[in-house]
Each structure stands twice: as C-alpha cells, then as structure tokens.
Structure 1
Amino acid sequence: MTTPLLSLTWTDHVTGRQGFLVVDRLVRGVSSGGLRMREGCTLEEVTGLARGMTMKEALHYNPQGRYVPLGGAKGGIDCDPRDPAAYTLLVRFLRAMRPYVESFWTTGEDLGLTQDLVDRAAAEAGLVSSVQAVYPLLDDEKAARKRLADAFAVEVDGIGLDELVGGCGVAESVLTALDRAGVPHAGTRVCVQGLGTMGGATARFLARAGLTIVAVADIKGTIANPEGLDVEALLAARDAYGTVDRAVLRPGDRELPGDAWLSVDAEVLVPAAVSYAIDVANQERVTARWIVEAANMPVLPAAEALLAARAVTVLPDVVVNSGTNAWWWWTLFGDIGADAEEAFTHTRRSMRALVEQMLARAEADGTSPRAAAHAIVAERLPAIAERFGWYR
C-alpha cells in the first residue's frame, strides 16, 4: 500500500465530530472520489477508499477516449446521515474543504449522501460545483457542464439516470461472470444486501435480465421469497434511505432477521450497503457461488481468502462498482451524451470488457479476480504517469 499524497482529519468546532479527506494520487493535478457520511467512519476507511478510487480511475483508462482518468481521493464524515444536525455538519465540512474542492478534489454522492444533498450543501458552502476542480481540463466548460446537468435530469421509469448507471455496471459484471461460466441467466438466484441507489438499480437490471431476486436486505431486516420478489414494487416502496415499506409485501414474502441475507440460498450475493459486512466469522454462512461487491470494501481480506478456499469467487469493488464514477466523466468529457440508452450501452460494453479482462487474467495467472485487477492497475498507472506526469 502506497502512502497517500494527502491525508487530513477535520474536527467540527460545533459538534466535535470528525471528517476526513484523503488524496491518494493526482493526475493532471486533479483527483476524483465521493464523499460519504456514516456513523463510525474512520480515516483508515477513507484511506482505503481513496486508494480504491485510484484503481477505478486507472482501470477505465482508454488512451483513445476523451475522458482521461484522474487521481483517486475520498472524503468521509463520522455522522449518521439521519441525524438532524447532519446537513449543517456537511455544509461546515465542505466549507472547510473548499480550498481542496476548488483546486484538486472532485467529489459527489457516496454512502449516506445523495448528489442533490451534496450539490445543495456545496452551494451553501460557497462552491461553484463539487467537481469544479476538473473544469480547467475541459475543452468546452459551458457545453460540458450543460451535458452533465442534462444527464442528471434524465429519468428512466421515475428513477434518475445517475442512480441507475452504477447498478447497470454491477449487473453487467454479474452477467459477464455467468456467461463465462456457462450459467444461464434464467433460474439464477440473487440476494441483494442494501436497496439504496446501487443495490436498487442492480436488483432492477438483474431482474430485467431474467435472474430471480430471491432476497433483499435493508436496515429493518431481510425480505425473502424463494419464488422471487416483486422488485419493482419494492423499489417503489423505498424511502430516501432505501428502506422498504413492508405494507407492499405479498403473502409469499417472508420477513427474516437483518443478517439472514448472508445465508440465503442463491448463486449470487450482492453486498451493496456498508463496508466490512462479510468478515471471518460470518463468511462461513455464505452459500453463494459469487459475491459481487457493489459496495466499497464489503468483504474483509481474511474473509475473502477463506471464501476462495471454498470456491466462492469475489468480484472486487474496484471493478464492479466503478461504473458510476466513469459515467460522470464519460459524460462531462463528451465520450457520451445525456441519453439513457447511450449511457447504458457504453456502461455495459465497458464493464463487460473490463470484467472479461479481469477474469481472463485471474484464470491465466492462477490468482483471484482482485489480484488480477490489481495487476492490471499496476500496468496502467506507469503508463498514465508517463503520459501526464505524477502530479502535474
């Protein structure tokens, strides 16, 4: 693990709560990484996420593309987003981070925060935009900003395009793994932990691809039905935090304890909520053949080693959930327009190629998909540095 370029801890003068910013690396003087808010967020967690962002950016490096990957960064605030004081805390954090956001840290929604909330707080903190540091790199700033704003205004079946592209990428990762293994989509059972932005969109795309969503989990517990859940009804009944109103459950739907999602009979398990959800103690309950990391760092390294010994394949977060970040930049830099089908087509093509490359590399090297992804990054970072320099 390399030492981050910048690591800082901020203490709020009003509440005493802490926030963190870690810049792992700069490319062309800019870094990219979302801002999360959760109770218990730590500097160590944010540091790992920032390193992951460097990897996600490098994995999407296309020398012929208009979007040139940035460096990796991450922000975090130790607070429950449901806390009545959370919003004003967010504004104060962004006000304190303003010099960094203006200069070299582009950020946006992550766990516990929506983009609308980040945008509103950023404006109140005196920022032009949460991604304004990238503007000097754009050929036509006005056209690029309009394109991104138009893309954020696009809705598909009542859900914003920005909330769907990440799940589209996760779903395509699942489908690619199934196709390589010769497993038909129909009849493949899936359990999704977390029904927020990423988990909800993933469930929708997988259900529409013919897979059966047999369980979902939210903060209230696990909802399961071996015959398949009505995904659209559950999505329509979510609140802003991804919690499902149980009034929409059908007679065959069962309510199970919160951690029951771990051991649901399913071929594919998609942790799409908090980090560190699968550890050494509970990994033995997993019966799925694939764990697909829609969340950031949901499987602890020691647990992943034990899972591998049981022939459970983990598709790593740095690949699987990289679609949202890439979509932002594909759109802003002009590789795609503000159109849902164009976004989904580009995301599916890019993610399938990346997952195929990772799985082929893992097979050839006799390593895990994560080790293969790391190997690809190790090859691409020097190429990016040679082209753009380490910091400039």
Structure 2
Amino acid sequence: MSTTPADAPLVSLTWTDHVTGRQGYLVIDRLVRGVSSGGLRMRKGCTLDEVAGLARGMTMKEALHYDPQGRYVPLGGAKGGIDCDPQDPEAYGVLVRYLRAMRPHIEHFWTTGEDLGLTQTTVDSAAAEAGLSSTIQAVYPLLDDERAARRRLDDAFAVEVDGIGLDELVGGCGVAEAVLAALDRAGVAYGSARAAVQGLGTMGGATARFLSRAGLKIVAVADVEGTIADPAGLDVEALLAARDAYGTVDRSALAPGNRRLPGGAWLSADAEVLVPAAVSYAVDTVNQSQITARWIVEAANMPVLPEAEELLAARGVTVLPDVVVNSCTNAWWWWTLFGDIGADADEAFTRTRRSMRALTGLMLSRAEADGTTPRAAAHAIAAERLPVIAERFGRYG
C-alpha cells in the first residue's frame, strides 16, 4: 500500500487487551462528511496490514456505489479487526473490551457491523454491554429524519425470506448477480454453468442459494470440515438446512451421491465459476495452479493474493474483485437507512440486482477498453469518483 500523504490511512491504531494480551486494530482510510464505514472482523491471525487493506477496499466500495441522484451519500472507508478465534471462550469478553476502547471512534467517526467471524447479533449485544447505543450512531447526524430512518432499518432487519433474515441474503444476491452478469456477457447459459463455493456462512450460503435458483449447478462447497462435492449437483437447500451457526454442514445429512473431499478440493472443481466466500488469502501462488475455472468471483474480502491474480490472468482466468462483488451488503444498509429503499425484500433485491448489474457491466467494459483486469478497472472508476465525492461533501463535514 502506498504511504504517500494522499493515499495513507487517516487513522491506524493497534489496541492490546489488558486481560488476555490479544490485539485489535482500527484503520480509518478516509472520512466523508466526518464519517467512515466498515465492518469488524474477528479471526485468529488478523493483522494490521489486513485491516488496512480492507479499509481501503471499503473506501472504494463506497465510491463505486455513488449515485449523485440518490439519498445515500457514500461514507469514507474503515475497518476493524481482532486477532482472536471467535469460538474461543474468551472471545466475547475481548470483543466487549475492544468496543469499549473504540467507543469514542464509533460514537463520532466509524460506523461498523458484522464481518468475518462475527454476527450482527453478537456485535449488537457486545456493543450494548460496552455502553454504545448503536454501532452506526456516527451516521445519525447525517440523516434527514433519524427516528424514521432507524425504524426503517430495524424493520428491514426483521424481514425474513423463507425463514432467513433479509440482511443475510442481500450480500449473496449481489454476488450471484455479478456471476450472472459475467455469464450473460460471455453468452453462457445458466443451465450449463457449474459453480463451486468456499464457505457456507452468511455470504457463501446466500450466494449458493441464489445461483442454484438461477439454474446453475453447484458441484462443490467447502467448509472447515472439508469439501462436499457431487458432479451431478448438490442439493443446496438441504446443505443450508444442515449447517450450524458457523456455516459447518452436518455430514450425517449428506445425500448418497455426495463425496467428502479434502478442504482444498473446491479449488480444482470442474466448474466454470469459483466463489471464495470465506477467509482472506485463500488463493495463493501455489494453489492457483489447481484452478481450471473461467471466473473467480470474490465474495470474501481479499481472497486472491495479488501475485496469484497475475498468474491467473496470464492463463485466462478472470477475477471479479471483492470491491464490486460483495459491496451490496454495505450498500443495502445505507440504501435502507437513507431512504432509497424501504424495509421490503422485493425492493432490496431489485435495487441490489440493478446496481450490481450496472456496476459489473461498467467494470467489465472499462477493463476491456483499457486492456486491463476487472480489479484495475474497478480501482480506476473509484479513483475518478473519490475526488468528486470529496469536493461535493468534504472529508470532515
């Protein structure tokens, strides 16, 4: 990451838990009207560099969804991270103390929510214990009618579709739409396309569901226990019904034709589309050689290392980048809060599909015109929009 004044993060700090010695991080990449946006992740091995990269990604995600005619005004990018296994018995206490330490930032500058390793319910519970009224309260002064906006968002989080919360579905809807847009552009029929998904948590599970319902055959899924594969196609709904709170599938529920393979087998699945939807850095310079898919669609944040992406591009594998692909989870919060959409599933899915179609198409057209990768194209689009946003709204309010 560049360290020039224009590109360096605005705030970068490391916190050490006085009880366990574990560390946490906050990076505010930039502010718009004095506020930034970005989730909080918890995973063993989380680093400051990782959080800084994610914060820069959030800056770009916000800029890419800028609509001069919309009520939602993009915020700056930020990210929080805690180096702790979320299943550790001490994890919740660490989370509460982290949020208590970050309380001044959350109250005034940083809006946050669930990310890898944490659910929104857990974040909200810990935030209340840490003395926070909300993890997005910094944005409230920017709203025309705070009471109505908060009620609208609360109502949206209460919406369920087929027994699953709308908030758990919009991100996967966006990822799936990016896949479908790429297939349409290449003239590939959905019914002849196969996909493999790494991770069956919130994002991966919803992505698998929307792709399956669109007609794609899901031939492999991976969780912490390994890969489940079936060249004839997996029963996605059955697998989702058999997963626990961490996205791990109960193997006793597998169908007779399902094969249990090692964890990395999803990479070499005979599929046109790979969807890494779990951890960062999943595809490296070594294991990328196993990939035969035509597209890698980044539902997770930073799952493909830059050096691996160069090798993949050289042999014709296209990576659709996280800054576009998984951006609708964040955008949905703000579309709803600012009032571009109501607390309604049909409105949410329609807006998500329309926005992702437009953004994916713009990115791929730009990549083709510039003779570059989709990621470079997305970064170029964001770089053009950031000065416009800064000039119109200012960094500090």
Match of 1:242 among 238, 243, 247: 247
CA separation in 2, counterparts of 1:160 and 1:389?
35
Q: How does 1:312-331 map to 2 (within 5 A)?
A: 312-331=317-336
Match of 2:310 among 305, 309, 327: 305
User: Does 2:257 align with 1:284?
Assistant: no
The alpha carbon displacement at 1:178 in A equals 0.3
The alpha carbon displacement at 1:256 in A equals 0.1
Match of 2:182 among 168, 177, 184: 177
SS at match of 1:72: strand
CA separation in 2, counterparts of 1:249 and 1:237?
9
Q: What is the match of residue 44 of structure 2?
A: 39
Amino acid at match of 2:244: D
SS at match of 2:197: strand
User: Does 2:200 align with 1:195?
Assistant: yes
Offset from partner CA, 1:294-344 (integer Å, 9 cap, x none): 000000000000000010000000000000000000000000000011100
Q: How does 1:247-258 map to 2 (within 5 A)?
A: 247-258=252-263
SS at match of 2:144: coil
User: Does 2:13 align with 1:8?
Assistant: yes
Match of 1:165 among 164, 167, 170: 170
Amino acid at match of 1:20: Y
Match of 1:99 among 97, 101, 104: 104
Offset from partner CA, 1:223-270 (integer Å, 9 cap, x none): 000000000000011101000001111110000001111101000000
User: Does 2:272 align with 1:272?
Assistant: no
The alpha carbon displacement at 1:212 in A equals 0.3
SS at match of 2:192: coil
Match of 1:49 among 51, 54, 59: 54
The alpha carbon displacement at 1:391 in A equals 2.7
CA separation in 2, counterparts of 1:160 and 1:220?
25
User: Does 2:99 align with 1:90?
Assistant: no
User: Does 2:341 align with 1:336?
Assistant: yes
Q: What is the match of residue 214 of structure 1?
A: 219
Tell me how many residue pairs correspond in the alignment: 392
CA separation in 1, counterparts of 2:20 and 2:352?
41
CA separation in 2, counterparts of 1:122 and 1:287?
44
Q: What is the match of residue 120 of structure 1?
A: 125
SS at match of 2:191: coil
User: Does 2:147 align with 1:133?
Assistant: no
CA separation in 2, counterparts of 1:290 and 1:322?
18
Q: What is the match of residue 145 of structure 1?
A: 150
CA separation in 2, counterparts of 1:389 and 1:31?
12
Match of 2:77 among 72, 76, 84: 72
Q: What is the match of residue 357 of structure 1?
A: 362
TM-score (norm 2): 0.98
The alpha carbon displacement at 1:390 in A equals 2.9
- Identity percentage of aligned residues: 82
Amino acid at match of 1:21: L
CA separation in 1, counterparts of 2:297 and 2:94?
33
Offset from partner CA, 1:13-63 (integer Å, 9 cap, x none): 000000000000000000000000000000000000000000000000000
SS at match of 1:328: helix
CA separation in 1, counterparts of 2:396 and 2:244?
42
Gapped runs of 5+ residues in structure 1?
none
The alpha carbon displacement at 1:187 in A equals 1.8
CA separation in 1, counterparts of 2:136 and 2:83?
22
Amino acid at match of 1:353: A
User: Does 2:387 align with 1:389?
Assistant: no
CA separation in 1, counterparts of 2:193 and 2:393?
44
Q: What is the match of residue 260 of structure 1?
A: 265
TM-score (norm 1): 1.00
CA separation in 1, counterparts of 2:192 and 2:364?
23
SS at match of 2:382: helix
The alpha carbon displacement at 1:281 in A equals 0.7
